[in-house]
Every structure is written in structure tokens, then in C-alpha cells.
Structure 1
Amino acid sequence: MNFAELDAYLLSKKGATFDYPFDKKVRVYRSAGKMFSLCVDEQPLAVNLKCNPIYALELRSLYRAVKAGYHMNKKHWNTVTLGGDVDDALMRELIDHSYALVYDKLTKKQKELLGR
């Protein structure tokens, strides 16, 4: 998965948008204003994703490409380096998981607004 494919998949999530709140390089992906991912279009390509704390530890123990979130809360975020031992299918699952963690905590009204 390259940056264009990663970006397209992240933006395919319901209500997904991006902005650059930190600098001109770090792209932050949000749904209803809540961050679910961030990355930089540099090599090696890596993406920060929100993750259930127990699942985060499991992933870190199974995959060399999954580390505690760089510059993030290490309990709730992982940094995944693409092109390593995490294939594209798992990458999409991890993105889906990150998005679901954010989406599930939205209010009913926020979810309705995203559905439009």
C-alpha cells in the first residue's frame, strides 16, 4: 500500500476529512472532528492508528511493523510501518478498527449528520 492508496482508504470512511493542525506535513484524519489516524507522506511510510489497548499490545507482540504510537498516547495508539510484515488486508482491518473506536463514541446526532 502506498500513500495514495492509504489516503484513499482513510478518506473512504463515513465523514472522513483531513487537516494539518501540527505542521504542513502531518496529515490528520478525522470523523466528526475526532482524530482516528495521522501520517506523513514520507518513506518509510508509517501511519498512527487508534487501537484498543489490549489489542494494541497483542499487535506489537506479533508484528515488527507495529510499535507504540509515535508522539501519541502509547496505550491507545499504534504506529504501523507499511511495507513490513503487515499486509494490505491487515492494514485495512487496523484502519477499520481505528475508525470504529472513534465512530462508536460519537453521539447519535453526530452519527446522523455523518449519514447525510
Structure 2
Amino acid sequence: MSVEERVEFCIAQGNKLAGAQVYYREDWDCYYFDIAGKYFGLLSAKSGGESFITLKNLPEVNEELRASYQAIRPGYYTNKVHWNSIDLTSGEIGKEMLASLIISSYQLVVSKLPKKVQATLLEK
């Protein structure tokens, strides 16, 4: 899968999640994965060279992922305990795993939202 296809795949996954929005932020030069005003992912806008998606996960899971995959590194410009940046150009991370990591990041951020907001997301 090309980098462009991986970028499109990531955007499509984000758009499938209830209440999520994925849009380009010119000031950050990246695609911003948003749920109720909180971000759960950042995707570099570059299609050539290096391309990364930064996603949230539990600290212990992040450590395990970094130890298991060279393509997964501490998050760029984020809290390195809670965020990982995944190199989309490496080919090491498959579509299923990438989708799972996007969903996990979304679920983790949703779990921290106020209960009222969570309830409205369940209605969608």
C-alpha cells in the first residue's frame, strides 16, 4: 500500500467513528482527528518521504508497541508516555493493526469525555 493509500485509509477510519471529524489544520500542517473538541490523532500531511500518524494509548501498551515495532516511536510534539507516532512509510504496520490503533485512541479519548457527551455519541 502506498503512503497516499495509507493516509486515505487513516482518514477513512477516523471518519467512520461516531462523532469523529477528520480535517486538515493549516496552522499545524496535519490532519486533525477530533472528537468533541479533543484530538485523538494527528496525521502528517506529507505524502512523500516520511509520513506519521500520532495516536494515544495506555502507557503500558505504548511501551510494548515500541519494543515490538521499529515503526512505532514516542509521539512527536506530544506527551511521550501517552502518545506514539507510527511511521506509515515503513510497511511494518498492517491495515488491520492501524485501524485497531486508531479505534483504541478514539475509545481512550471518548472514555475521558463527560458522561453527557459520551451519551450523545452513543445516540449517533
Task: Answer yes or no: same fold by TM over 0.5.
Answer: yes
- Superimposed CA distance per residue, residues 2-47 of structure 1 (whole angstroms, 9 cap, x where no aligned partner): 2112101111111011345571622211111111001122132210
Aligned residues: 116
Match in the other structure for 2:97: 90
Match in the other structure for 2:20: 16
Corresponding position: 1:99 with 2:103? no
Gap regions ≥5 residues in structure 2: none
SS across alignment from 2:21: strand
In terms of fraction of residues, the more helix-rich structure is 2
Match in the other structure for 1:51: 57
Identity of aligned residues (%): 32
Question: Over aligned residues, Cα RMSD in angstroms?
Answer: 1.7
CA shift for structure 1 position 57 = 0.6
CA shift for structure 1 position 113 = 2.1
Q: Distance in 2 between matches of 1:103 and 1:53?
A: 17
Equivalent residue for 1:5, pick from 5, 9, 32: 9
SS across alignment from 2:105: helix
SS across alignment from 1:73: coil
Q: 15-24 vs 53-62, which deviates more? A: 15-24
Letter in 2 for 1:68: P
